[in-house]
């Protein structure tokens, strides 16, 4: 999507946007009775009891103000609990929850509807016919409030809890990974050594940004338009999630850009103070590992959460392996993928980086926990059997590194022996292996890799 489409989506995810939209709708609904009242017969008000509408609106106005205040305080407590018990990076997902925003916006809109209705009744602009319309709409608002309150009670019971928040993180990371698999390199050409761009670095003109921050979004369509106008490819040097500064080139081109084209290229990169889930699949993995690292800290000591996170990381990594052409292509992205912007080159996501983001922190902080180590080795064994050609190599390397870290922390020989036995099944081997798997390891006479001493 373009930069402006992405910014519009970000705005619609804000709480104030839905609250404002519901408030405007509530005001319009309260005043709509003025347009409908000419079509209401004069004898209907006495039949339906429209005289009671002012009392109902008074009750709604006072109760909805209290409910809204209580709901906001509940949300603030949930945000604080998630920041302290899960990770501060998950707060963005909680704040963008559509169900919570709709419920809170309904309460605010009902309060404004009641307030505007009381003001209009006090001014006498409705008349008897208008009171009938307002009464019918008020009954509908009451039913809406009852349904919303029942949903809110069920929603708030789990909102911000550890399990529910980690589920949101996994879902956001999975959606980002699926989008990346469907449109590799954001629809651009993968930036590799043989990408067809001039190899002479000195002949390229670099484009820089004028601020420091994380790349949250790249408008590849805008870059394609500039590249077509110039008749030469644009080579993007960073991906969403990269931390850039004014001294690091974000893109290069073999021809000089005028001021307008240079500004267009610079504005194609949206920077922010934090990373975003949308175009950055690696960020979801990093956030999940933060949850596992916090759970393995001595202050928390919750290995069960770390084990659950390892399972979630395994499911996310399988998204990258389950591709029809993965077996025939050793690159992270299959060549058969559709390229929408052939004049833009963008660095692909490397499988080694995904494994580092997902499993290195867990192996580091969970080196002294046998249960976490066994779960990690079982997860790597699953990934080693995945169809992607790079997964087996990465799984073997991280399995060996995890064993090597555990050998420096675990003190009981029986625990080490059990961990090595589980790790031996990662590559389908009969014996153990060590950190030497990551490189060009020496082997014993029977072909088994040596295991370093503790």
pLDDT at 203 exceeding the cut of 80: no
Closest residue by Cα to residue 110 from 73, 74, 136, 148 = 148
Nearest to 260 by CA among 295, 222, 232, 298: 222
Strand partners, 205: 253
pLDDT exceeds 90 at position 119: no
Same domain, 426 and 318: yes
Enumerate the β-bridge partners of residue 344.
Answer: 234
432: Cβ–Cβ under 8 A, 6 or more apart, which residues?
Answer: 403, 420, 421, 423, 424, 448, 449, 451
Task: Supply the pLDDT for residue 202.
Answer: 45
- Let me know whether 247 and 286 are in one domain: no
Q: What is the pLDDT of residues 324-334, one digit of tens each?
A: 344 344 444 44
- Asked whether residue 393 carries a pLDDT value surpassing 60, the answer given is yes
Q: Choose one of 228, 252, 272: the last residue of a domain.
A: 272
Residue 167 lies in a domain: no
User: So what's the pLDDT on residue 331?
Assistant: 46
Residue 27 and residue 84 in one domain? yes
Q: What is the pLDDT of residue 213?
A: 94
Three-state secondary structure of 411-430: CCHHHHHHHHHHHCCCCCCC
What b/e string do you get for 163-189 counting C-beta neighbours within 10 Å, with b at 16 or more? ebbbebbbebbbebbeebbebbbbbbb
Tell which wins on pLDDT, 106 or 437: 106
Whether 265 and 288 share a structural domain:
no
Give pLDDT, residue 345. 93
- Let me know if residue 325 belongs to a domain: yes
Domain assignment of residue 172, yes or no: no
Handedness of CA 252, 254, 258, 261 (dihedral sign): negative
Mean pLDDT of the chain: 83
Instruction: Note whether 10 and 123 are same-domain residues.
Output: yes
CA distances from 387 to 143, 183, 311, 317, 393 (A): 53, 20, 19, 12, 12
If one counts the domains in the chain, the total is: 3
Domain boundary among 214, 237, 272: 272
Q: What is the pLDDT of residues 33-80, one digit of tens each?
A: 777 767 666 666 545 555 678 888 889 999 998 999 999 998 999 999
The pLDDT tens digits of the residues spanning 402-425 come to 999 999 998 899 999 999 999 998
Q: Is the pLDDT of residue 432 over 90?
A: no
Question: For 336-386, what is each residue's pLDDT tens digit?
Answer: 456 899 999 999 999 999 999 999 999 999 999 999 999 999 999 999 998
Same domain, 318 and 394: yes
CB 115 within 8 A of CB 29: no
SS3 content of the chain, % helix, strand, coil (to 5): 65, 5, 30
Same domain? For 17 and 89 the reply is yes
Which residue range forms the structural domain that includes residue 323?
Answer: 281-338+348-438
Q: Under a CB-based contact definition with an 8 Å cutoff, are residues 396 and 427 in contact?
A: yes
Residue 434 lies in a domain: yes
Q: Which tops the pLDDT comparison, 1 or 404?
A: 404
pTM for the whole thing? 0.82
What is the pLDDT averaged over residues 149-160?
Answer: 90
Indicate whether 152 belongs to any domain: yes
Band (293; pLDDT cuts 50, 70, 90): very high
| CA 165 vs CA 83, 90, 168, 241, 337: distances in Å | 10, 7, 5, 21, 33
Residue 402 within any structural domain of the chain: yes
On whether both 146 and 229 belong to a single domain, the answer is: no
Lowest mean pLDDT among 299-313, 315-329, 434-448: 434-448
pLDDT at 443: 36
* pLDDT tens profile 226-278: 999 998 899 999 999 999 999 989 999 988 888 899 999 999 999 999 999 98
Strand duo 188-190 + 243-244: pairing: unpaired
Asked if 255 and 399 sit in the same domain, the reply is no
CB burial class (10 A; 0-12, 13-18, 19+) of residue 265? buried
Has residue 188 got a pLDDT over 70?
Answer: yes
Same domain, 156 and 7: yes
**Domain check: are 88 and 154 in the same one?**
yes
Burial of 98 (0-12, 13-18, 19+ CB in 10 A): exposed
Domain assignment present for residue 178? The answer is no
Of 125 and 212, the structure prediction assigns the larger pLDDT to: 212
The CATH number of residue 215's host domain is 3.90.1170.30
d(CA 26, CA 32): 10
Q: Mean of the pLDDT values across residues 146-160?
A: 90
- The pLDDT assigned to 306 comes to 95
| Residue 444 maps to a domain | no
**Do 86 and 151 share a domain, yes or no?**
yes
Query: What secondary structure letter does DSSP report for 6?
Result: H
């Amino acid at each position: 999507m373009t930069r402006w489409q992405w910014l519009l989506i970000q705005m619609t995810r804000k709480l104030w946007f839905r609250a404002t939209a519901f408030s405007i709708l509530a005001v319009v609904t309260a005043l709509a009775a003025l347009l409908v009242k000419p079509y209401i017969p004069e004898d209907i008000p006495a039949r339906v009891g429209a005289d009671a509408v002012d009392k109902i609106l008074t009750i709604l106005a006072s109760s909805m103000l209290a409910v809204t205040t209580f709901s906001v305080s509940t949300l603030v407590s949930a945000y604080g609990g998630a920041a302290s018990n899960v990770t501060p990076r998950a707060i963005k997902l909680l704040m963008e929850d559509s169900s919570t925003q709709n419920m809170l916006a309904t309460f605010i809109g009902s309060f404004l509807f009641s307030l505007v209705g009381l003001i209009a009744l006090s001014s006498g602009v409705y008349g008897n016919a208008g009171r009938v319309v307002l009464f019918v709409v008020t009954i509908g608002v009451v039913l809406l409030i009852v349904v919303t309150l029942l949903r809110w009670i069920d929603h708030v019971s789990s909102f911000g809890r550890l399990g529910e928040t980690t589920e949101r993180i996994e879902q956001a990371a999975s959606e980002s990974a699926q989008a990346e698999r469907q449109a590799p390199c954001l629809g651009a050409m993968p930036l590799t050594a043989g990408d067809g761009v001039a190899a002479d670095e000195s002949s390229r003109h670099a484009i820089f940004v004028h601020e420091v921050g994380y790349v949250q979004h790249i408008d590849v369509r805008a870059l394609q338009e500039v590249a077509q106008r110039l008749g030469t490819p644009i080579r993007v040097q960073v991906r969403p999630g990269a931390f850039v500064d004014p001294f690091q080139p974000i893109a290069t081109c073999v021809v000089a850009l005028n001021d307008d084209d240079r500004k267009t290229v610079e504005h194609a990169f949206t920077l922010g103070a934090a990373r975003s889930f949308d175009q950055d699949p690696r960020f979801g993995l990093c956030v999940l590992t933060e949850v596992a690292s916090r759970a393995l800290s001595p202050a928390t000591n919750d290995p069960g959460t770390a084990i659950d996170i390892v399972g979630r990381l395994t499911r996310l990594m399988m998204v990258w392996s389950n591709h029809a052409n993965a077996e025939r292509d050793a690159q992270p992205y299959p060549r058969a993928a559709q390229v929408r912007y052939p004049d833009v080159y963008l660095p692909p996501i490397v499988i080694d980086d995904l494994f580092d983001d997902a499993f290195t922190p867990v192996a580091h902080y969970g080196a002294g926990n046998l249960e976490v180590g066994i779960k990690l080795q079982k997860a790597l064994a699953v990934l080693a059997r995945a169809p992607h050609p790079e997964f087996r190599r990465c799984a073997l390397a991280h399995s060996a590194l995890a064993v090597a870290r555990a050998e420096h922390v675990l003190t009981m020989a029986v625990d080490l022996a059990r961990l090595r036995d589980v790790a031996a099944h990662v590559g389908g081997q009969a014996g153990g292996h060590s950190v030497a798997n990551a490189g060009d390891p020496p082997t014993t006479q029977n072909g088994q890799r040596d295991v370093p001493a503790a």
